[in-house]
Structure 1
Amino acid sequence: MKPAILIDGGIHAREWISPAVVLYIINQLKNNPQQDPAIEKLVDLYDWYFIPVINPDGYVYTYTTDPCWRKNRRQTSSNPVCYGVDLNRNFGYDDKTWDPSVGGSSDPCNYVGYAGTGPFTEEESKAVMKVMNRKGVNFVAYMSFQSYSQIWAYPWGYTQDTLKDAQDLRNAANVGAAAIFSKSKKIYRVNQSALFPEFGLIAGASDDYARGGANIKYSYTIELRDTGEKKFFLPASEITPNGEEILEGVKAFANYIYKPRRKNYYYNKW
């Protein structure tokens, strides 16, 4: 069985650069317009799975009504103005990994961080969970592209406790970040999610579930451009450069984790 990599984007509606970068990567892997032998190799070595827009109704709403909207668009209260669950607070596999008091909110009218009434109350998060746990697929890496801050973060987010193999995740992420820097001189900081001051502690995130619930070792949240100047509203001219540098990061990362994993008991044999 070939190893597989899952990449998603658009979990937060206003992060427009995220789906664009995921689509850029799809086009490069599918069509390989530069005839890059490294891409040909990685397409042969891995099965690739993509979810470009996890949150389609929220994404559309940012274009039609409110460009700063973050959540999905399900009505969450009898109050007619209360809509939306933050999908990146709606994952979890126990009372610690889903907890609205840790970086979220239990208020169904909260504009930003409402976590729902429990894990996987939302069709969108349930759909991603089902992909992660799909039978017959050997997922070895998961990347959730979000924005902004230029960060490559690994679990845990809900606690500052450290994974026993955190150094493995850090090393692989550093390889990707170095490739990004070589391409564009953009710095992507690497660390455990809970240790980034921009994040703080966050329960219910998809990368924590991917690692702890779906047993995908190399699980990450990658915050794309920029570092705060334009925030969520990057001009269209930033799409291709962001896609180019992230593609280099993904290529280097995927190449790096291939050989070391072959003797790693953590995975199914392939």
Structure 2
Amino acid sequence: MQPNGDGRADDARGAHGAPDASDASDAHGTRGARAAAAADDAPAAGDGAAAAGDPATDGAARGPDGFLVLRPGGAVVLVGAVALLLAGILAHLGMVFLHVAPPNALSRQHGKAIDGWIYPEFEQNWKLFAPNPLQQNVSVHVRVETRDDSGALRRGAWVNLTAFDAENIRGNLVPSHTAQNELRRAWDFFTNSHDSENRPTGTRGELAEAYLKRIAMLRLTERRGVDAREVVRVQLRSATTPVQPPPWSGEQVDDTTRHRTLPWWPVTEADVPGAGR
């Protein structure tokens, strides 16, 4: 096309022909900026997906310094758990204090609840304000009388029931409270409900006698193979020996064993192990 005199051909070429160099440069620059922005956004999206799937961040969010920060709900749960733990510790310490403290209004009013919490897991034989640890070994012995074929009574030898219990728990790292304390508590029950002449001091005296007698019969049946149906009478005694002090103390203690012998008790059918089954 030839240019005319007024330059219309050049105007037409600029409007309908190929773009000039400046237009091409602007187009390429715009596309490059968009591509760069998309490239920058891609890692951020990937990081968000990874964070959403990270189990370590469940219930927490990352703070500006990169450390995990508990969300309000998680913080409430944590504070509640700590509060419950502290409340339990304080309640336990309060129960123990009331148990070992001298009698007072609270311990008298809530005595059953305190004993129910302390026994048997936290039992001890001393008081905080008047310590008197056990300084003697107490063993319980038993002997029986049986009737032979001729009808005559035969008296057996003394048997150390406490030695059976000691042998049963020896080498056991976690012996049960029953294995450790059943016989000992039965003897304490008897001595606390009887006077020095072995006479009951209250309504629980007969119960203590029956309880101690049946434990003795159970031990003899299980450990000595005694036929409880042949036993006519049973007798128990305690053997108390003071514990010797350590050599460095310089204290002298009489180590003579003292016995407390109970009267003979008749054995009834109710005292035979398994009779109530």
Whether the TM-score (by the shorter chain) exceeds 0.5 is: no
Q: Given the two structures, how large is their TM-score scaled by the length of structure 2?
A: 0.23
Q: Whose Rg is larger? A: 2
Q: Given the two structures, how large is their TM-score scaled by the length of structure 1?
A: 0.23
Larger RCO, structures 1/2 (Cα 8 Å, 6+ apart): 1
